[in-house]
A and B are shown apart, each in its own frame.
Chain A
Amino acid sequence: MGLKIIDDFPGVAMKVPGGSVMLGVMDAVINWARANSLWPLSFGTSCCAIEMLMATGAPHQDMARFGAEVARPSPRQADLLVVAGTIVKRMAPTLRTLYEQMAEPRYVMATGACAISGGPFIYNNYSVVRGADEIIPVDVYVPGCPPRPEAFFYALLTLQRMIRSGDSLKSRHVHKRPVMSALPAGITVADIQEELRDLLERDSAVDVEKEAAAGPWAGKGYC
């Protein structure tokens, strides 16, 4: 049942059912606009903030080339939350609050080892949260400690790619997370399918039949 979906992921899972041409065009335009004007929330806690939010804004890297230079201090005006730095237990509720205050559509990028997994602070540590994804859903992970600004730009491009294929007007607030598209060269879906099937089914792929019966759009004739 789930296999078919994983095979053709992400094309099948999120297709706008009923596919009107008008909506399709509007989807493309809106997603294009969203992807090219990501306003990051200036949320930096430690070392990554220097590289991710300050050095990228500076002349040598210049985030403005990606339409993302408008770093906002207010979550209400931002649509990209760059988790740059370690999140400790005391900061966790604040991060969650900030995320919830952001308007939809909102995207989260975890930069650096600390925000991905706790990084250097995994073992024998009483205070650090092991990864921002324990608190908020994360869209893009950027490994590095800290990642260099170019790595951040690559992540930004990756996120833009995701947004462009992302939300549609009909099924809103459902991000496509094209897990497979990030695979390194030479690796196919089949290589890790066996290993990841359970997790994939749970986290990333959508079972269309099941969703048709129980999902948020159940009974609306989409599936």
Chain B
Amino acid sequence: MEANELQEVVLAFASGAKVREKTDRPSLTVPAASLPDLLAKLKADERLSFDMLLDHTAVDWLERGVLELFYQLFSTRHGHTLTVSAEVPREEPVAPSVSGVHLIAEWQEREVYDMFGVLYEGHPDLRRLLLDDSWVGHPLRKDYRDDHMIERPK
């Protein structure tokens, strides 16, 4: 399936979805609440069959005050890719968990919680993945600072 065609098919699927500009692959922005449903549908659909969640991560857009969640989907059957993104507010970042759809999301979401503090509703085991439980703050947020970090001298 061509990129444009794919994008149209997916757009028909997702309510409230918009095409995300400035990416190098078919890409959509959707409301965070619709994520688990959408991913399940994309996985089940014969033409799309996005059965692998390659990657899930977040970007902290400090100026806009949002955390943008990115889901990279891949179809082992058709070989096409799709980026789904959703925005959650920085101050109260809550998103629904997609671990019911893709098993690996459990760990990927734990990592994003660890690094960005995004709380996933319905996650079976939301713990820090890489840092100690006693760690204060979420280091990949742009405004994270601690005593240990030294800036490289200019």
Question: Which A residues fall within an 8 A CB radius of B?
Answer: 89-90, 122-127
Contact = CB atoms under 8 A, between A and B. Distances in A.
A124 B148 CA distance: 9
B149 interface: yes
B150 A123 contact: yes
B132 A126 contact: no
B22 interface: no
A126 B150 contact: no
Contacts of A127: 131, 139, 148
Contact of B151 (A89, A90, A123): A123
B73 to A, nearest CB: 30
A122 B150 CA distance: 8
Contacts of A89: 132, 148
Interface of B: 131-132, 139, 144, 146, 148-152
A124 B151 contact: yes
11 contacts: A89-B132, A90-B131, A90-B132, A123-B152, A124-B149, A124-B151, A125-B148, A126-B139, A126-B149, A127-B131, A127-B139
B144 A126 contact: yes
Contacts of A90: 131-132
Contacts of B131: 90, 127
B152 A126 contact: no
A90 B128 CA distance: 13
Contacts of B146: 126
Nearest to B150: A123
Contacts of B132: 89-90
Contacts of B151: 123-124
A126 B144 CA distance: 9
A90 B148 CA distance: 13
A123 B150 CA distance: 5
B124 to A, nearest CB: 24
Contacts of A124: 149-152
A146 to B, nearest CB: 23
Contacts of B148: 89, 125-127
A132 to B, nearest CB: 16
Nearest to B153: A123
A126 B131 CA distance: 11
Chain B CB within 10 Å, residue with most, of A89, A125, A127? A127
A125 B131 CA distance: 13
Contacts of A123: 150-152
Contacts of B139: 126-127
